[in-house]
Amino acid sequence: MIIILLKSLIIGAIGGAAIAAGAARMFYAPETQGMGAFRTLGELNACKGDPISHLSFGLGFLFNAAASAVGSGAITQDVFHRIVPNWAAGVLLFKNKRVEETLYNPGKMALAGAAVGAVVVTFLNTVSALVPASAAEVAGNVLGPASSMMINPVMPIIFILAALDAGRYTGVAGVILGGLAQMIMGNAVPGTILGILIGKSIEEQGYTKSTWVMISIVALLFILIAYFRGFHNTILALF
């Protein structure tokens, strides 16, 4: 158990610092290359700098991560993509509500992310090691479906509503790309986030060269994903 605790603290701190700093750096793209994920950036933006929203958002995915850790012994991507950056932001914003000095600061986010990552990973691994096998099976069967409902369809609906609330162009792009992503990938969230990025770019810059490049890249991305997933065969079969 001591070895599990030590490894969890080290891995959680390193991973938490890296992902939190990377998420903060994404706010400076494209001037500064970020190492985060657009999905994480979109979810952080959706909380609008409110510490309670960041903490509650991460807490919602803690149950999913706990169920996976207990049921299968594995830590899901939700830990570093959703829980750590949102809790790190929430902790910092409790002391200072100015996102420019907290959420957008890679150094402060790295320190907060290291602390949060160490605690969360240690907690999940400890719980997984202590829970009996019979209880782990029950947890996996009960909590797993509930967390799946959170990811789909609850999260896509939240993001589409956020896109509609952000403006006409953002709403239209979010709904169109979200619908295509739902049909092609089975989850509307990636498409909705891309729609929000495209819509906000059009609203702020207009139809510039960079905007058309972004639209072209997203269109090509969807075409390639649809092709390799065999989506065209599905469409032809429906006709």
Q: Does residue 157 share a domain with residue 227?
A: yes
Over 80: is that where the pLDDT of 132 sits? no
Q: Is residue 138 part of a domain?
A: no
Average pLDDT on 38-45 reads 81
Answer yes or no: are the C-beta atoms of 162 and 195 closer than 8 Å.
no
Q: Does residue 155 share a domain with residue 99?
A: no
Local confidence band at 133 (pLDDT 50, 70, 90 cut-offs):
low
Answer yes or no: are the C-beta atoms of 70 and 140 closer than 8 Å.
yes
Q: Does residue 209 share a domain with residue 162?
A: yes
Q: Does residue 93 share a domain with residue 24?
A: yes
Average pLDDT on 171-199 reads 90
Q: What type of residue sits at position 153?
A: P
- Token code pair at residue 167: 């403006």
| Pairwise pLDDT comparison (137 vs 49), residue with the higher score | 49
pLDDT for residue 55: 92
Q: Does residue 101 share a domain with residue 37?
A: yes
Picking from 29, 9, 5, 7, the residue whose alpha carbon sits closest to that of residue 17 is 9
Q: Does residue 121 share a domain with residue 159?
A: no
Is the pTM for the entire model greater than 0.85? no
Which of 103, 131, 159 terminates a domain? The answer is 131
Q: Return the SS3 of 144.
A: helix
Which of 131, 161, 186 terminates a domain? The answer is 131
Radius of gyration over every alpha carbon of the chain, rounded to an integer in angstroms: 19
Which of 96, 131, 166 terminates a domain? The answer is 131
Q: What distance in Å separates the CA atoms of residue 96 and residue 103, rounded to the nearest whole number?
A: 10
Q: Does residue 205 share a domain with residue 119?
A: no
Answer yes or no: are the C-beta atoms of 12 and 126 closer than 8 Å.
no
Local confidence band at 110 (pLDDT 50, 70, 90 cut-offs):
very high
